[in-house]
Amino acid sequence: MDIIEEKTGAKGRYATSVDGHTGEMTYSRSSPQLVIIDHTFVPDELRGKGVGQALARHAVEEARKGSWKIIPLCPFMGAQVMRHPEWQDVIQA
């Protein structure tokens, strides 16, 4: 699944398209070391296909590469963090 990043100032999103439908995870950068994941959207047509999980995993990988932390304000991202204790190295409560 190819995930692209779009940035506009301190805001951005990770997005992927599958079968003509796009899922996204949006974020705000509050400092060079901190990103707030604030929303995840996966259309009904993509539910159950692992799109949300792929976006969450991508955000974690980007945080590790960039040496920053994530605040999981989005309920979906918060739930994923609870399911993946191995992500705690990049999570700020």
Single pTM value for the model = 0.94
- Look at residue 1 in the predicted model and tell me its pLDDT: 86
**Residue 93: its pLDDT value, please?**
74
In b/e form, how buried is each residue of 10-47, taking b as 16+ CB within 10 angstroms? eebbbbbebeeeebbbbbbeeeeeebbbbebbbeeebe
Q: What is the pLDDT along the chain (93 residues), one digit of tens a residue?
A: 899 999 999 999 999 999 999 999 999 999 999 999 999 999 999 999 999 999 999 999 999 999 999 999 999 999 999 999 999 999 997
